[in-house]
């Protein structure tokens, strides 16, 4: 099989591919030579066409005065003429680019390489004769300094692979060096790819005989020539490995016979040094894999947590372990967005605009949560859930959660104003907060971290948020949050008890409170004192008194909601005997269907 190799001495770019039966065209582009199918006629830019015929290799070049191609011969370069029929091996030079076409020898014709043991036997050392003489101390010092430099480079940088190839050249003294990668998905003895090359004597040959590399697949040990091959070359091939310890590639050093080469074959020490380069490459590859995995882990953490929290978790991953903690949980949900989405989509808002609006809302609410140290658990439908005091301790978690609850409405106002004309009305938001014990931890996977809480605290917080829709006010907090708020320095908040209610899925009745930042009765629909008196009358079964106090209640307020509850209770009482009436003291409002 004919093998085509291309090497640029300036950029060290190396390409190699088998020659197709029809031949190949090398087309010069901005990124170097590209291999295209013949014929070359009509192509723009400098080109070289190579084709194997019975009379030899036919070579054509484009007519370009700035593009000179020479034939490299043992006696020196000469100009290429159109009538040339070249014999193998064909070597061409075009500026800094060298091109070679050779026939790869069958594997059975290659002289077997010697396997490098961890320490050469005394017999091998004696038989090595003059080849056993080691390099000068200054050479070794320079070489190990270069190895240390390579070990500091990152595999992700372009200089790492080229640096590994350069180490084999200088000061080790090989004429050509290759860093070759093996495709792990390839079976058999195919799939080698050159990552970097450094060739100091391209006129002696640049092609890499891949069949020589295959012996390493079976032995996974360093191989070398302690005597020259029939073509006057000597090879050293050392494997490098991936994170799992599998063969990932090889480092290849090739020495050619020429007047400046007094070393001839590869010495045992030189083979060991090539193996050391391969070991450094292995260390770099493994380190890079660890760094990439750590970076992916960090990215996953920062997708789930703020950068500050992610950094602490990176230092102590036990923070993600399951634990029971007291947390404050916030649920927020856009009011009637699903209904309005479908209506407005039909009316012309369109899904793109609708999702743009939803994205703006979620972005604003998320910023509110993160700015107050909260952890975003997830986005649910048209809203989100967040918690405080996990995974890191926050002694003021209830204060943070309540501040976020109030800030959510403020963050929504500019968005609502911007979209008012297109929506036909303002955006509404329901926010609920509950504080309690929950089981927290990572409920995700290695592909996606999902840190959250489970248990009744989460359910109750969700139901509190849902109650905002029925009662008509927001934000609403639970009695547990109010009690914890009083003990946590939350004196700047105002709370107004709205009612005691049965919530869906919650066994015990819950006292619900309206949360405000100041004494604001606008959502109550009346003064706080009158509302409190009406609620007390209702819970004491004094329905007539409660009805009188609520006769001026404004709809779509807490007072309007309480007035409806009073009226419903009065209607249910009519026609019943006193003995059949339930005990209404401490009346509980059912929000199970809310």
pLDDT at residue 187 in the model: 53
Spatial contact of 408 and 367, defined as CB atoms under 8 Å apart: no
90 by Cβ neighbours in 10 Å (0-12 / 13-18 / 19+) ranks as buried
Per the DSSP assignment, residues forming a β-bridge with 224 are 114, 236
Residues 4-24 have pLDDT tens digits of: 999 999 988 898 888 887 888
pLDDT at residue 262 in the model: 66
pLDDT at residue 575 in the model: 57
Q: In the chain, what are the domains?
A: 2-104 (2.60.200), 109-289 (3.30.450.40), 315-520 (3.30.70.1230), 527-594 (no CATH)
Spatial contact of 14 and 109, defined as CB atoms under 8 Å apart: no
Per the DSSP assignment, residues forming a β-bridge with 325 are 438
Spatial contact of 238 and 278, defined as CB atoms under 8 Å apart: yes
Spatial contact of 9 and 212, defined as CB atoms under 8 Å apart: no
pLDDT at residue 115 in the model: 83
pLDDT at residue 140 in the model: 73
Measured CA angle at 91 (ends 86, 97), to 5 deg: 135
User: What Cα–Cα distance (Å) separates residue 141 from each residue in 138, 153, 171, 190?
Assistant: 5, 19, 10, 38
Rounded CA separation 327/439 (Å): 9
Residues of the chain with pLDDT under 50: 119-132, 188-189, 346, 577-586, 594
| pTM, entire model | 0.59
Rounded CA separation 243/232 (Å): 36
pLDDT at residue 578 in the model: 43
pLDDT at residue 342 in the model: 60
pLDDT at residue 128 in the model: 45
Spatial contact of 327 and 435, defined as CB atoms under 8 Å apart: yes
Per the DSSP assignment, residues forming a β-bridge with 79 are 70
pLDDT at residue 579 in the model: 42
Rounded CA separation 457/139 (Å): 71
Rounded CA separation 156/154 (Å): 5
Tokens (6 digits) for 419: 């979209």
């Amino acid at each position: 099989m004919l093998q085509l190799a291309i090497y640029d001495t300036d950029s060290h770019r190396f390409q190699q591919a088998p020659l197709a039966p029809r031949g190949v065209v090398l087309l010069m582009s901005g990124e170097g030579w590209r291999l295209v199918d013949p014929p070359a006629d009509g192509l723009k830019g400098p080109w070289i066409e190579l084709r194997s015929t019975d009379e030899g290799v036919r070579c054509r070049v484009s007519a370009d005065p700035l593009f000179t191609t020479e034939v490299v011969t043992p006696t020196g370069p000469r100009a290429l003429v159109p009538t040339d029929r070249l014999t193998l091996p064909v070597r061409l030079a075009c500026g800094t680019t060298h091109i070679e076409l050779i026939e790869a020898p069958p594997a059975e014709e290659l002289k077997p390489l010697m396997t490098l043991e961890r320490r050469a036997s005394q017999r091998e050392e004696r038989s090595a004769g003059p080849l056993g003489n080691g390099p000068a101390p200054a050479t070794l010092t320079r070489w190990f300094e270069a190895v240390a430099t390579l070990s500091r480079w990152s595999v992700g940088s372009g200089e790492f692979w080229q640096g590994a190839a350069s180490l084999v050249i200088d000061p080790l003294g090989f004429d050509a060096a290759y860093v070759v990668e093996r495709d792990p998905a390839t079976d058999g003895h195919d799939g080698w790819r050159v990552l970097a090359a450094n060739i100091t004597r391209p006129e002696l040959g640049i092609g890499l005989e891949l069949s020589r590399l295959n012996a390493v697949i079976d032995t996974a040990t360093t191989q070398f020539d302690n005597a020259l091959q029939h073509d006057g070359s000597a090879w050293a091939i050392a494997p490098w490995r991936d994170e799992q310890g599998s063969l990932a590639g090889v480092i290849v050093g090739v020495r050619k016979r020429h007047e400046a080469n007094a070393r001839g074959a590869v010495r045992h020490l030189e083979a060991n040094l090539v193996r050391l380069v391969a070991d450094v490459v292995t260390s770099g590859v493994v380190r890079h894999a660890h760094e990439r995995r750590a970076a992916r882990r960090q990215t996953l953490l920062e997708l789930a947590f703020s950068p500050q929290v992610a950094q602490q978790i990176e230092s102590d991953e036990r923070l993600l372990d399951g634990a029971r903690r007291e947390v404050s949980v916030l649920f927020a949900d856009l009011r009637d967005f699903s209904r309005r989405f479908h209506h407005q989509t039909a009316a012309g808002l369109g899904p793109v605009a609708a999702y743009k609006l939803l994205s703006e809302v979620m972005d604003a609410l998320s910023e509110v949560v993160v700015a107050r140290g909260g952890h975003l658990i997830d986005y649910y439908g048209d809203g989100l859930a967040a918690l405080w005091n996990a995974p890191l301790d926050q002694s003021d978690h209830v204060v943070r959660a309540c501040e976020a609850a109030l800030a959510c409405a403020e963050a929504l106002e500019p968005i609502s104003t911007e979209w008012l004309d297109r929506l036909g009305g303002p955006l509404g938001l329901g926010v609920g907060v509950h504080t309690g014990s929950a089981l927290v931890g990572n409920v995700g996977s290695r592909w996606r971290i999902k840190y959250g809480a489970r248990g009744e605290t989460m359910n109750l917080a969700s139901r509190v948020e849902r109650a905002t829709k029925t009662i008509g006010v927001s934000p609403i907090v639970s009695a547990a949050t109010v009690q914890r708020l009083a003990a946590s320095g939350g004196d700047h908040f105002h709370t107004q008890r709205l009612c005691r209610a049965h919530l869906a899925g919650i066994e015990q009745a819950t006292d619900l409170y309206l949360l405000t930042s100041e004494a604001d009765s606008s959502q109550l629909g009346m003064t706080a004192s009158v509302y409190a008196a009406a609620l007390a009358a209702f819970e004491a079964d004094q329905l007539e008194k409660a009805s009188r106090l609520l006769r001026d209640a404004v709809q779509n307020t807490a007072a309007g909601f309480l007035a409806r509850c009073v009226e419903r209770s009065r209607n249910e009482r009519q026609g019943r005997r006193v003995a059949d009436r339930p005990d209404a003291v401490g009346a509980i409002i059912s929000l199970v269907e809310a």
